[in-house]
């Protein structure tokens, strides 16, 4: 069994990514750690617990950072709904997370399974950066770190012209992670726009599965569907966190470029912009693998298999 550790700010696309990992037969999800981002921490924890319960999984969920390292928290209820899950009336309250602090658990789990853990981050990087500042040795003890964030291959951003939401929320945390020496694989929002848009035709394929989890994956996109229609003008909701999870599960279809990366700290409009030294102009040390393409057919084949 491959060992996954997932860090999330659970909202509508995060929940689909969690379902994928929880339903992949050869993956053991050691824990889900939760960070504030799309919604405040308490709501994100409830959303993660609900998703684990829906998938009939026995996985601990730990609460972590309730705000970025140096900034006030900015959330995205306009994109995902006030409850982060499309405001469709789900019972997203009353569940209790496992006792423990997320950054501490990240450290303990990586140290307990040296060079065996794939860490998948699908929210702001506050929990991971906190763990690294406390225990920098984990940078060399993790097998892979798959990060959903930035717009590394093509651009543009989805919260400013140059920045993607996860990196924009806590750019200082991104800098800590990028300079840690971890084996980073970055899947940007631009990859989602290129290959993970749930068009009406793709939505019909998911509905045709006739599965509870498949219907859940679409129903919770209600607010996002309206947002993308009016703001990003896509042909349907896009799935950035699920396509990052697809790469974590099976990186073989991906096109990858090894490059030096850094993050713009601010102020706007450059805050949170991913700096990718494609041509070596800035002589950044090569510190990440940037996914430049994950084919749409490969992604949706996996999505349909895991939601069935």
Output the pLDDT for position 14.
Answer: 98
pLDDT value for 268? 80
pLDDT (0 to 100) of residue 32? 99
Helix (H) or strand (E) holding 37: none
Q: Which segments in the chain show pLDDT lower than 50?
A: none
Residues 241-260: b if buried by 16+ CB within 10 A, e if exposed: bbbbbbbbbebebbebeebb
Exposure string for 95-124, b = 16+ CB within 10 A, e = fewer: eebeebbbbbbbbebbeebeeebbbbbbbb
Question: What are the pLDDT digits (tens) for 70-95?
Answer: 999 999 999 999 999 999 999 999 99
Three-state secondary structure of 116-176: CEEEEECCCCHHHHHHHHHCHHHHHCCCEEEEECCCCCCCCCCCCCCECHHHHHCHHHHHH
* pLDDT tens figures, 275-302: 999 888 888 899 999 999 999 999 999 9
Q: What confidence score (pLDDT) does residue 156 get? A: 78
* pLDDT of amino acid 154: 77
Predicted local distance difference test score (pLDDT) of residue 42: 98
Q: What is the dihedral of CA 219, 45, 103, 252, to 10 degrees?
A: -20
pLDDT at 261: 95
pTM for this predicted structure = 0.97
Q: Which domains, and CATH codes, for the chain?
A: 2-307 (3.90.245.10)
């Amino acid at each position: 069994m491959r060992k996954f550790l997932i860090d999330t700010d659970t909202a509508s696309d995060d929940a689909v990514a969690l379902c994928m990992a929880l339903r992949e037969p050869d993956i053991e999800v050691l824990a889900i750690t939760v960070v504030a981002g799309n919604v405040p921490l308490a709501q994100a924890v409830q959303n993660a617990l609900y998703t684990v319960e829906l998938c009939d999984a026995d996985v601990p969920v730990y609460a972590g950072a309730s705000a970025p390292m140096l900034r006030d928290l900015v959330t995205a209820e306009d994109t995902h709904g006030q409850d982060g899950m499309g405001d469709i009336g789900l019972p997203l309250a009353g569940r209790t997370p496992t006792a423990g602090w997320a950054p501490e658990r990240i450290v303990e789990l990586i140290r307990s399974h040296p060079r065996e853990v794939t860490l998948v981050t699908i929210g702001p990087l506050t929990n991971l950066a906190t763990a690294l500042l406390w225990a920098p040795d984990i940078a060399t003890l993790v097998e892979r770190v798959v990060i959903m964030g930035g717009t590394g291959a093509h651009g543009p951003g989805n919260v400013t012209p140059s920045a993607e939401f996860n990196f924009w929320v806590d750019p200082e945390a991104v800098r800590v992670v990028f300079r840690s020496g971890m084996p980073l694989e970055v899947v940007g929002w631009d990859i989602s726009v290129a290959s993970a848009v749930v068009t009406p035709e793709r939505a019909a394929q998911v509905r045709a599965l006739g599965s509870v989890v498949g219907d859940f994956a679409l129903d919770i996109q209600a607010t996002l569907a309206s947002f993308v229609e009016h703001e990003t003008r896509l042909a349907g909701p896009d799935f950035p966190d699920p396509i990052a999870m697809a790469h974590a599960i099976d990186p073989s279809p991906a096109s990858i470029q090894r490059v030096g990366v850094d993050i713009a700290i601010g102020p706007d409009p450059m805050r949170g912009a991913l700096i990718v030294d494609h041509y070596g102009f800035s002589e950044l040390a090569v510190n990440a693998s940037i996914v430049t393409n994950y084919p749409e057919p490969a992604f949706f084949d996996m999505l349909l298999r895991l939601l069935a």
